[in-house]
Amino acid sequence: MRRFRLEKKTKRSALAVLLNSILFVLVALAFCGVIIAAVGFNPLEVYGRMFSRAFLSVRGIRSAVESGLPLMLCGLGVSIAFRMNLNNIGAEGQYAVGAILGGAFAFYGPKLPGILGILVLAVCCFLGGAIWALLCAIPKAFWDVDECITTLMLNYVALILLSYLCLGPWKAAGQNVGQTEKIPDSLALGEIPGLEVSVAFPLVILIAVLMFCFYKYTTSGYQISVMGKSLTAARYAGINLKKNILLVLGLSGGLAGLAGFIQFAGITGRVQENMPNNAGYTAIVIAYLSRQNPLVVIVVSFLLAGLQNSSATVQVMGVPAQIATMMQGAIMIIVIAGDFFLRYRIVSVKKGGKKA
């Protein structure tokens, strides 16, 4: 009599991972299509409009790139933490604190000439996010406090502080919404001539390439990968866990803080109350779907930004704009469930315990 049991796979190819992800993204879209049809709309028409609006027009592509820049940086930040098996759920707050520290420099700091002022502004935003993440990294490194809880809780503190500043002492005169005055023109990022895309875009691509090389060719990058697979093995290998926890979470928060810099120096021109706009939480989806590959983070961020932007297009059909959020959630849950088929296979076992 044959029986069946689960057996853990020892290897999985990059092609298998890619095909598995594509398959279950399609399953998620089919699932969402059933829901769309159930409420009275044609899913093919809805998807067609969303896709053409986001990716088949120059305006849509530019909009997706612009909206995707903060997602890319937050995604890169969260992915480096995930790569070491650290759950940084605080990119939303780190983004906000980066914007706050950058705003403080823009409005109250010394007036520095040209590119120097922009570089100092970027460093301020990076430090803001890094310091906020280190508030959670230190308890994790020295007392093994769960970073998932601490990073999540600090989000609320950061967002309340940002809201207070934008609705209070920093609020622009005559404005009904929570936002500051425009930052000085000398600190604003320009656009690439002829493309109407922020100069921040190639900089973000460069960061992703540098992170890819860091993972692949440096000792620290290798150590991060080892710790992500097994802390016990890392200890036996003599890897300094405390130092690497501080390094990784600090870098993770700093990248999220840079998202604040990109947003107000390159897109809005001012600090706004709602600036993170769930980018830190969307970054969790991005980090997972990209399998922590920095180059894939860029692609996934662009696609999700286009998806989010296109949701407004189908509102004229009566479809709720929240469809994009539903699709993001469905894609993440179903792709996570699909990981089962990457990790395990079903084997037939003969009587006596031998494989068929």
What's the maximum distance between 2 C-alpha atoms anywhere in the chain?
81
| pLDDT at residue number 193 | 86
Percent helix, strand and coil across the chain, each to the nearest 5: 70, 5, 25
Q: How many CA atoms lie within 13 A of 335 on its CB side?
A: 23
Range 68-317 classified under CATH 2.60.40: no
Nearest-5° Cα angle at 23, 17 to 25:
100
SS in 3 state form for 85-114? CCCCCCHHHHHHHHHHHHHHHHHHCCCCCH
| pLDDT at residue number 225 | 86
| pLDDT at residue number 344 | 83
What is the C-alpha to C-alpha distance for residues 274 and 195, in angstroms, rounded to an integer? Answer: 27
Residue 194 zone, left/alpha/beta (φ > 0; ψ -120 to 50; rest):
left
Contacts of 78 by beta carbon, 8 Å cutoff, 6+ apart? 88, 91, 252, 256, 280, 283, 284, 286, 287
* Burial profile 208-247: b = 16 or more Cβ within 10 angstroms, e = fewer: beebbebbeeeeebebbebbbeeeeebeeeebeeeebbbb
Nearest to 133 by CA among 114, 116, 147: 147
How far is C-alpha 111 from the geometric centre of its chain's CA atoms?
32
What token pair was written down for 222? Answer: 């290798």
What is the C-alpha to C-alpha distance for residues 149 and 135, in angstroms, rounded to an integer? Answer: 12
Which residues of the chain fall short of a pLDDT of 50? none
| pLDDT at residue number 244 | 93
Q: How many CA atoms lie within 13 A of 120 on its CB side?
A: 16
All structural domains of the chain with their residue ranges: 1-41+319-356, 68-317
Contacts of 335 by beta carbon, 8 Å cutoff, 6+ apart? 21, 24, 25, 28, 288, 289
| pLDDT at residue number 242 | 93
**Exposed/middle/buried for residue 104 (C-beta within 10 Å: 0-12, 13-18, 19+):** middle
Beta strands 197-198 and 191-192 are antiparallel
SS3 197: strand
Nearest to 87 by CA among 145, 130, 143, 126: 145
